[in-house]
Amino acid sequence: MTPLLRPAPAGRQYAAGATVLALLALASLAVGSRPVPPSQVLSALFGFDPANDLHLVVRALRLPRTLLAIFAGAALGLAGAVMQSVTRNPLAEPGLLGVNSGAAIAVVLGASAFGLTQMAQYVWFGFLGAGLAGVAVFLLGRAHESGTDPVRLVLAGAGISVLLGAAASLVILNSGLEVLDLFRNWGSGALEGRGRAVAATMGVALALGGGLALALAPGLNAMALGHDSGRALGLRPQRFWALACLSVMILAGAATAAAGPIGFVGLVAPHLARAVTGPDNRRVLPLSALFAASVLLGADIIGRVVAPPAEVAAGIVAAILGGPFFVHVVRRFRLARL
């Protein structure tokens, strides 16, 4: 390998990713329908004055929204990286493989049948729906057997997504205005008005699911060689698959319950991470979290400024940005067996 192609040291990669994320976070706190000067942003963070209305805007409205974008984006990036590694499929990500749709229909059912309108209540439905949909897609796509056929897995994910999307629409159309109002903002991936409790719950889920994903990183490297090679290196494929599915269920379920069904973020970030650091999942997973957090936070910022004074939901902006990247990945890999 030539020096020009050698990956940069891990510390430098993490520092660069964290720097970009910090700058975007500062911009997120400053940008909006009412601009806040950077000096006032820093003053609100480190010298809060409850009598200053700009400080209240930063601390009460934009800080929870920024933290939610960071936590949810990182969760989607980790979930996508785990799914791509464990299935050896470059197109795997929670949105494309039905995990987000499973969480979405579960949240809608929870709101419609049980009147659950608080994230702390319906997040458990999001976990359950994400897990069941992921297992269904993996079984229909037979990813647990080989994990090497992108066409089969993507078709299974598309079929499950369409089915669950139709079911969610049916439930919404036959529910009250409360459910419709909840889904109107939540279903588009809008991060506005979620509050501190939602961001805190998302942070706990990220710590649990992300910690499990990072602990699986060495095993993901072994499984990348194939199930037989992984078994020869001491892994139990079925147990490993169960732990990987649990990690994805926690990460994608919480992110979808908190921020809505946001697609493509979990697809883009792992590819960017591998382009920077190579295939080692011990580096890919943390960088995927950093990059995905930056992508979702950047999408949220763009959504605030493209059509003022109205806003475009972060999920819609992420889909617009991620769609061309998905086409690029499809053309690059040609949906061939890897």
**Per-residue model confidence as pLDDT tens digits over 198-222:** 899 899 999 999 999 999 999 888 8
State how far the Cα of 205 lies from the Cα of 143, in Å rounded to an integer.
Answer: 26
- Domain membership of residue 5 (yes or no) is no
- Domain membership of residue 90 (yes or no) is yes
User: Which pair of structure tokens corresponds to residue 72?
Assistant: 């949810």
* CB-CB contact of 75 with 202 (8 Å): yes
Q: How many structural domains compose the chain?
A: 1
What parts of the chain have a pLDDT lower than 50?
1-6, 146-148, 335-338
For the entire predicted model, the pTM comes to 0.87
* Domain extent at residue 277: 64-333
The runs of H, that is alpha helices, within 174-226 are 177-186, 196-215, 217-223
- Domain membership of residue 70 (yes or no) is yes
Length of the chain: 338
State how far the Cα of 322 lies from the Cα of 327, in Å rounded to an integer.
Answer: 9
- Domain membership of residue 79 (yes or no) is yes
CB neighbours of 256 closer than 8 A, spacing ≥ 6? Answer: 94, 99, 100, 103, 104, 107, 126, 130, 262
- Domain membership of residue 254 (yes or no) is yes
- Domain membership of residue 327 (yes or no) is yes
Q: What is the pLDDT of residue 1?
A: 36
**Domain CATH for 93:** 1.10.3470.10
- Domain membership of residue 173 (yes or no) is yes
DSSP secondary-structure letter at 33? S
- Domain membership of residue 113 (yes or no) is yes
Q: In the predicted model, what is the mean pLDDT of the chain?
A: 83
